[in-house]
Every structure is written in structure tokens, then in C-alpha cells.
Amino acid sequence: MRIIAGTYRTRTINAPAGRVTRPTTDRARESMFNLISSRLDLENARVLDLYCGSGSLGLEALSRGAGLVRFVDLEPRAIAAAEENAATLDRDLPCSFELRDAFDVLRRTDEHAYDLVLADPPYTMKEVVLLPEAVKHVVSPGGLFVLEHDRHMAFADHPDCETSRRYGRTNVSVFMYGYES
């Protein structure tokens, strides 16, 4: 995998060994960030990367100018890989790493704490359908929640879903709260 654009463009990052994560393909990540950048200025944005895996989404945001990224995953090897990838890019990146459950993090996070929330949960996780409502309070006005999910799960009818795109077996849904699309 590689960083697609920005300061660290073309730099490689590694996924944790084994089947701990399902890394977002370069193509899907590029398309996802095209959706994001057409709706949100990432310069100095505060980003929460849930189910971060290798950290590829949050690191892409940092490369494109995000001001800080909070990486969260419940899998120790995933957090270790995200930390290693960040250190490989730049030891002074403005980021933090937490080995915690995403829903616990969301319950304990202040309102409007983030401009962008990214989530790439396991496709088999049944609670995925709860994420758009669980995330709602932490997204700042004008911010986005971007959810990567299995193509068989649909959020297009959700009142806050601004758009949903399909990339192979992956769908990316973009949510905006309190704004008409």
C-alpha cells in the first residue's frame, strides 16, 4: 500500500501480518479521499480514524494536511502497525493511538470534537448499522463521517447519508449531519 497524495505521496505503508485487517485498496482510498476533499477542506482538520487497521486512512488524511488524527482499534497488532507506519513517515506526526472499542471511544468523546470521522469496521460486524447514529454527536458542523462497508449493506436511505459509492465489494457512504445535501 502507498500514500496516494500530499506530503507523503508514494510512501509505502504496511498492513499487520495475518488476517487481522482488510486494508483499503489504493484505488478505493483515492476515490474515498476525492469524495472527502470535494466536501471538506482537510487543512488542519481534526480526524478520528475508527477501526484504523494499518492506519492508511488517517495517514492519508495527515498527508493531505489534517491537523491531528486519533487512531482507534481493538486489535493490538493493528494499533502496532498504525504506530509503526506513522513513525516511518514522520516521528513527529500529530497523532495518537488507542487500543479501545470504537463505541466506547464515541461514548466518551465530546460533542463536535472532529471535522472528519473515518470508519472501516470488519464487514461481518453486526453493529456497523449503528455507527451513523453513534458518530453523529462527535462530528463538527460542516464535518463528515465516512464509512467503508460491505456492498450488501445499504445506507443510501439514511437521512444523513449524502452519497454512497461502490468500489468492487466495498461501498463508501458519506454522512453529513444537520445539513441538506
Structural domains counted in the chain: 1
The verdict on residue 111 lying in a domain is yes
Average pLDDT, the chain: 92
The answer to whether residue 23 sits within a structural domain is no
The CA distance from 98 to 120, in Å, is: 16
Q: Tell me, yes or no, whether 14 lies in a domain.
A: no
pLDDT tens-digit series, residues 67-83 = 999 999 999 999 999 99
Q: Is residue 2, in this structure, part of any structural domain at all?
A: no
Domain of 162? 30-125+137-175
pLDDT at 25 over 80: no
What is the structure's pLDDT at 22? 67
The kind and range of the H/E element at 84 are helix 76-89
pLDDT digits (tens, 9 = 90+) for 132-169: 999 999 999 999 999 999 988 989 899 999 999 998 88
Q: Report residue 180's pLDDT band, with 50, 70 and 90 as the boundaries.
A: very low
| Residue 159 counted as domain residue | yes
Q: Where are the beta strands (DSSP E) in 13-169?
A: 46-50, 68-73, 95-99, 114-119, 139-150, 161-167
Rounding to the nearest 10 degrees, give the CA dihedral for residues 51, 62, 95, 99.
Answer: 10
What secondary structure letter does DSSP report for 138?
G
Residue 181 lies in a domain: no
10: in domain: no
Among candidate residues 176, 177, 169, 131, the one with its CA nearest the CA of residue 27? 169
- pLDDT, tens digit, for every residue of 28-68? 888 899 999 999 999 999 999 999 999 999 999 999 999 99
Q: According to the model, what pLDDT value does residue 67 have?
A: 98
CATH code for the domain of 111: 3.40.50.150
Q: Is residue 58 part of a domain?
A: yes
pLDDT number for residue 181: 41
Q: What is the pLDDT of residue 108?
A: 96
Statement: residue 20 has pLDDT above 60: no
